[in-house]
């Protein structure tokens, strides 16, 4: 399978696990998407370093939308396009799906174990320096 | 891995950046993730194993590779750089810290439940 197909499959499997196997329903929760918005920003940053410096190099035949020849292996040290040609911040768009599957599956398991009573406590917070006027619930 | 390839910490440096960027949440937002280490291990290990397998398949299929000039040059299970194995530990840890960081900031507010809340409010801080 191509990276594209595997990445889509990975996301479908993880969402199915979340909704029906572990019943954690994280993808229906506001707290998950708020955290994920932060995570995906830093993914674009750190993955941009990994791919922009060509620490990890992608085979253009395995990713979608790429027509850049010869950017795999030791063919060239030039970085891939920052945007376009199947890439966002140097990284293949498939990496966003890969990252979603990786992080979401982790969080599903984390919440699953909490629901099962495995170290549910101590819970997170409160912050060391809480807001002076905490918003009413 | 050739004899002449020097050890590089470029990839490890990115991982260190991710750790520095998230571990402060444990202190300033009191996320209490590290002290719940058994739950942490049970969450990260299966994911790391699964994604290492994906990685091994992807490397064997030629989906991606790694520049020997930017990694430590230590490999596990054939062609899997140890840098990459550590990635699958560091990133899940960062993800959990991010989630628990948001939960700390939104603590006690309706509509921000993650589904594992206990009945009692544990205010033993």
What does the pLDDT look like over B21-48, one tens digit per residue? 999 999 999 999 999 999 999 999 999 9
Q: With beta carbons less than 8 A apart as the criterion, state whether A89 and A44 touch.
A: yes
Is A132 inside a domain boundary? Answer: no
Whether residue B100 is predicted with pLDDT greater than 90 in this model: the reply is yes
Does this model's pTM top 0.95? no
Is A122 in Cβ contact with B124 (below 8 Å)?
A: yes
Which one, of A36, A8, A113, lies nearest residue B45 by Cα? A113
Which of B34, B42, B47, B80 is the mutation pick for testing A, counting most A CBs within 10 A? B47
Return residues 21-40 of A near B (CB < 8 Å): 24-26, 29-32, 34-35, 38-39
- The confidence band for B6, taking pLDDT boundaries of 50, 70 and 90, is confident
Q: What is the mean pLDDT of residues B58-77?
A: 94
Which one, of B123, B108, B109, B119, lies nearest residue B32 by Cα? B123
Which one, of B84, B37, B22, lies nearest residue B58 by Cα? B84
Query: Domain of A34?
Result: 3-115
Which residues, including other chains, have CB under 8 Å from residue A22's CB and lie 6 or more apart? A108, A109, A111, A112
The interface predicted TM-score (ipTM) is 0.92
Whether residue B125 is predicted with pLDDT greater than 50 in this model: the reply is no
**Chain A nearest-CA residue for B40:** A110
Please, what sign has the CA dihedral across residues B91, B95, A35, A98? positive
Tens place of pLDDT per residue across chain A (137 aa): 899 999 999 999 999 999 999 999 999 999 999 999 999 999 999 999 999 999 999 988 888 888 765 556 445 667 888 888 889 999 999 999 999 999 999 999 999 999 999 999 999 999 998 876 656 55
Is A56 in Cβ contact with B66 (below 8 Å)?
A: yes
With an 8 Å Cβ cutoff, is B59 touching chain A?
Answer: no
Report how many domains make up chain A: 1
Chain A residue numbers with beta carbons less than 8 Å from the beta carbon of B63 are 2-3, 58-59, 62-63
Chain A residue numbers with beta carbons less than 8 Å from the beta carbon of B33 are 124
The enclosing H or E element of B66 equals: strand B64-66
């Amino acid at each position: 399978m191509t990276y594209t197909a595997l990445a889509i499959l990975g996301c479908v499997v993880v969402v199915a696990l979340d909704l029906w196997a572990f019943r954690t329903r994280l993808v229906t929760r506001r707290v998950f998407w708020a955290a994920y918005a932060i995570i995906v920003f830093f993914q674009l940053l750190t993955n941009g370093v990994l791919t922009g410096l060509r620490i990890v190099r992608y085979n253009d035949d395995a990713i979608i939308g790429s027509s850049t020849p010869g950017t795999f292996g030791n063919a060239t040290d030039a970085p891939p396009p920052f945007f376009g040609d199947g890439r966002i911040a140097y990284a293949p768009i498939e990496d966003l799906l890969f990252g979603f599957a990786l992080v979401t599956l982790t969080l599903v398991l984390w919440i699953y174990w909490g629901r099962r009573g495995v170290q549910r406590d101590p819970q997170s917070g409160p912050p060391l320096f809480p807001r002076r006027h905490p918003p009413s619930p | 891995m050739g004899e002449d390839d020097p050890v590089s910490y470029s990839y490890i440096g990115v991982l260190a950046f991710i750790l520095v960027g998230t571990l402060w949440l444990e202190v300033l937002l009191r996320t209490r993730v590290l002290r719940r280490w058994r739950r942490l291990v049970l969450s990260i290990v299966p994911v790391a194993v699964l994604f290492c397998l994906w990685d091994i398949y992807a490397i064997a299929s030629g989906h991606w590779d790694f520049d020997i000039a930017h990694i430590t040059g230590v490999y596990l299970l054939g062609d899997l750089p140890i840098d990459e194995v550590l990635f699958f530990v560091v990133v899940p840890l960062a993800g959990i810290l991010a989630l628990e960081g948001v939960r700390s900031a939104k603590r006690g507010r309706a509509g921000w439940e993650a589904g594992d809340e206990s009945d009692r409010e544990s205010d033993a801080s």
